[in-house]
Amino acid sequence: MITEQDLQEAIAECQGEKHPNASTCMKLAAFYTIRNELYPAKSAEPVVRGYSYAPPPEAVGNTITYESDTEFGRTIRGRSQAEIWPIVDELVSDALRVVNPRLYAAFLRKIRP
């Protein structure tokens, strides 16, 4: 049976290649997979969850990051949701419901869970 030391040596050899190619990468992935399956407690590297360099969403301040090249999209970009949602709510609830009830009903159907 292959030992953990054998796998560590094979991984080090692949990582030490000066000119890695696709074959090297596939071998390295295979060695890591085998090591993690055969020796999970010893070889488990800590998994960092979340965002790499960006702050978590709640730290952004609920700013709108919707990317659109429309006039509306450019206007709301970077503004807070607390500023924009009341305006959208007023527009949809008051104007759209009165002017085009069918479109209003279709809009609500699309956003309902």
pLDDT tens, residue order, the chain (113 aa): 778 888 888 888 888 888 888 888 888 888 888 888 888 775 445 555 555 566 555 545 567 777 778 888 888 888 888 888 888 888 888 888 888 889 888 888 988 88
What's phi and psi for 37, nearest 5 deg?
-80, -40
What pLDDT is stored for residue 59 in this prediction?
47
* Residue whose pair of structure tokens reads 């730290």 in the numeric block: 59
- Give the chain's radius of gyration (CA, Å): 26
Give the domain ranges of the chain.
4-43, 80-113
What pLDDT is stored for residue 38 in this prediction?
83
pTM of the model: 0.39
* Distance (Å, whole) CA 38 – CA 2: 9
What pLDDT is stored for residue 43 in this prediction?
47
Contact 51, 41 (CB under 8 A): no
User: Where are the alpha helices (H) located in the chain, listed in sequence order?
Assistant: 4-15, 22-38, 40-43, 71-76, 81-90, 97-99, 101-111
What pLDDT is stored for residue 54 in this prediction?
60
Two tokens at 76? Answer: 């709301």
